[in-house]
Structure 1
Amino acid sequence: MPEGDTVWLTAHRMHGALAGHLLTHCDLRVPKLATVDLTGRTVLDVAPRGKHLLTRVEGGLTLHSHLRMDGAWRVYAAGERWRGGPAHQIRAVLGTETHTAVGYRLPVLGLLRTTDEPTVVGHLGPDLLGPDWDLDEAVRRLCADPARPLGDALLDQRNVAGIGNVYKCELAFLARVTPWLPVGDLPPGVPERLLATAHRLLVANKDRFERRTTTSGHPDRPLYVYGRGNRPCHRCGTPIRWDDRHERVSYWCPRCQKGPGPAPEPGGGPTP
C-alpha cells in the first residue's frame, strides 16, 4: 500500500532514471491528457510531496500523480519487459533512451505549470520526508481539533503529509491507544513522541519497499498489528481485532491499546 515512504522511494528511482534526460517517448492514457506529448523535453526533477509525485519537465511543466490505494510507477531499463500489470492498467509511459517509467492504475494524473504546484500540494502539512519537516507545526495541526479520533487526524494530509493506513494502525499501537481515541485525550507528550516516531519509521523505511515497524529482526514479524487480524499480538498474545466496515481497515490490540473501539453501526453486531 503506497504511503509516504513508498512514494519517496518511487520518486528517488524515477529521478535517478529520468532526470537530466530527454524524453523520447510519452504516452498519457487518460482522456484529458490524450493529446499531450512531452517528447523532446528534458526531465528536470522527480520530487515527492507527501503522497504526491511531481515530475517536472523542461518548459515549466509538471506531471502530477497520486498513487492512492494501489497505484504504482515502475522503472525499467530499455528493452526490459514491463511486469507491473496488464496493459489496460497503464495510465502513463515516460521513456528516454535508457529507461522507461510506467504508471499503473494511477487514479490521479494531471499536467500543470510548475509554478502552479501549490494548487495541488499547497494544502499539505509538514512532510515527514521533506525538507520542510517541522515537528512542532505537525503537533500543532494534529492537536487543533481535540475531539477528532486519532486515526482520522493522522490520515489527514493537511495535518502531516505521508501517513497512510498502515502507519496509522502501527503508530496507534506504538502509542498504546486505539485509533478512535480523541486526540485531546492523548496523555501529555504523546503527540510529540508519536509524530517523532512516525518520522523515524518513514526515514528508516524510505530506501526499501518492504516496510518494517517492529524491532524484531524476524522476517515474519515486520508489523505489529496491520494485516494481522485474529493473529496473536507480538506483545501480549491477545488476538488482534479489526474493523473492516470502511475502505481503510483498522487493526488494534484490545489489551495493549487503551481507548474506545469503533462505533457500532445501527443494528449491527460487534466487530470481529
Structure 2
Amino acid sequence: MPEGDTVWQSARRLHDALAGKVLTRSDLRVPKYATTDLTGRRVLDVTPRGKHFLARIEGGLTLHSHLRMDGSWRVYADSRRWTGGPTHQIRAILGTTDRTAVGYRLPVLELLRTTDEDKAVGHLGPDLLGPDWDPERALVNLLQDPTRPLGEALLDQRNLAGIGNIYKSELCFLLGATPWLPIGALPADRAAQLPAIAKKLLEANRDRPVRNTTGRRGQDLFVYGRAPRPCLRCHTSIRSADQGDGSRERPTYWCPHCQTGPAPNPHRGAPGGTRSRTSRRTTN
C-alpha cells in the first residue's frame, strides 16, 4: 500500500493535469457507474486525504478512489501511449483537451456527493500532509490502546493518516523501539516526539522522486528492505519478519541492537521477549 507522500505526489499530478479544465472524456469502468457521464463538467480540484484521492467535480460531485496495494493513477499527454497496464485493468478515464488521467487496478472507486465525503474519509485521523494535521489529537489516538503494538498503531489510519509500511519501520527505528513494543511502553518523551518525527519525514519526502529518511545519499533508508545488511548505525544485521493484526501480514524490518522491545523469535518467527544486544542473526 502506498505511503502518504506517494499519494500526495500522485494527487498533485492529477490536480495539475485536470483542475480548472472541462472533462471531454469520462469512462468509469465499474458496473455501478457504467452509464455515468461526467463530460462537460469542470474538475475543481484533486485533494489527497491520507491515502485516499478526492477529485471534486462541478455539480457537487466527488470521485473517491483508493489505490490499496496495486492501484495507480497515470497522467498522459494526448499523444502518449498508455503504459500503466493492460486495458482490462483500467477502471477510470478522465480526459481533457490536452491530458488524460487513467486509473489502473483501482479497488475503490465511487462517485459521491461532495457533501458526503465524510462517508468515505471521515473515519481517518489527522492527515500528516493535510490542513487538518493535529499532533496532539494524533498522539491521543495512538495511545488510546496502550497494549497495541507500536507498528500496528502507526498503520491504523484512524489514528493518523498517511503512514505506510515503509514509514512504520523507519519511525520505529528512529524512536529506538521495535514495532512489537506495546505503544504504552514507549517512554513518554519519545511518544511525545512521534507525531513531529512522522510529519517531518513525510513532508521532507513529498517532493522527492526517491524517498530518503537518513539524510545520506545512496543510503536512503535505515532498515526497510535492508535485511540482512548491517545497520547504518551499529552494523548489526537488520532483521525482517511479518507483522499484522490477523487481517494482513506486512514485512517489517528492525535493528535488534538499536531498537528495544519484543521481537519475533529467530527460531519460531513469533513475537517473543526483549531482544539481545549481542545477537546478529536475522529473521526471514
Residue 2 of structure 1 pairs with residue 2 of structure 2? yes
> CA-atom RMSD, angstroms?
2.0
Residue 12 of structure 1 pairs with residue 15 of structure 2? no
Contact residue 264 and residue 270 of structure 2 kept, 8 A: no
TM-superposed deviation, 1:70: 2.3
Q: In structure 1, how many angstroms separate the alpha carbons of the residues matched to 2:194 and 2:269? A: 35
Q: In structure 1, how many angstroms separate the alpha carbons of the residues matched to 2:257 and 2:269? A: 26
Secondary structure, counterpart of 1:261 in structure 2: strand
Alignment of 1:115-154 (within 5 A): 115-154=115-154
Deviation larger for 243-252 or 205-214 = 243-252
Contact residue 54 and residue 64 of structure 2 kept, 8 A: yes
Alignment of 1:79-228 (within 5 A): 79-216=79-216, 219-228=217-226
Provide the residue aligned with 1:40 in structure 2.
40
Contact residue 55 and residue 62 of structure 2 kept, 8 A: yes
Q: In structure 2, how many angstroms separate the alpha carbons of the residues matched to 1:212 and 1:82? A: 29
Provide the residue aligned with 1:242 in structure 2.
240
TM-superposed deviation, 1:266: 8.2
Q: Which amino acid in the other structure matches residue 66 of structure 2?
A: H
Q: Which amino acid in the other structure matches residue 240 of structure 2?
A: W
Q: In structure 2, how many angstroms separate the alpha carbons of the residues matched to 1:267 and 1:17? A: 47
TM-superposed deviation, 1:208: 2.7
Deviation larger for 156-165 or 201-210 = 201-210
Query: Which structure 1 segments of 5+ residues have no match?
Result: none
Q: Which amino acid in the other structure matches residue 239 of structure 2?
A: R
User: Taking every aligned residue pair, what percent have the same amino acid on both sides?
Assistant: 66
- Map Cα deviations across residues 130-172 of structure 1 (whole Å, 9 max, x no partner): 1111111111111111111000100011100000111000000
Q: Report the CA distance shift for 1:205/1:18 in structure 2 as closer, same or farther (over 3 A).
A: same
TM-score (norm 2): 0.90
- Map Cα deviations across residues 46-70 of structure 1 (whole Å, 9 max, x no partner): 0000110000111111100011122
- Map Cα deviations across residues 178-236 of structure 1 (whole Å, 9 max, x no partner): 000001100112122122111011111111342111121xx431111111121111111
Secondary structure, counterpart of 2:110 in structure 1: strand
Q: In structure 1, how many angstroms separate the alpha carbons of the residues matched to 2:76 and 2:19? A: 14
Secondary structure, counterpart of 1:145 in structure 2: coil
Q: Report the CA distance shift for 1:267/1:206 in structure 2 as closer, same or farther (over 3 A).
A: closer
Q: In structure 2, how many angstroms separate the alpha carbons of the residues matched to 1:80 and 1:211? A: 27
Secondary structure, counterpart of 2:204 in structure 1: helix
TM-score (norm 1): 0.94
Query: Which structure 2 segments of 5+ residues have no match?
Result: 273-282
Contact residue 6 and residue 209 of structure 1 kept, 8 A: no
TM-superposed deviation, 1:267: 9.7
Provide the residue aligned with 1:76 in structure 2.
76
Provide the residue aligned with 2:49 in structure 1.
49
- Map Cα deviations across residues 242-266 of structure 1 (whole Å, 9 max, x no partner): 1137531111111111100137998
Q: In structure 2, how many angstroms separate the alpha carbons of the residues matched to 1:170 and 1:141? A: 20
Q: Count residues in correspondence.
A: 270
Secondary structure, counterpart of 2:148 in structure 1: coil
Structure 1 runs of 4+ off > 6 angstroms? 263-270
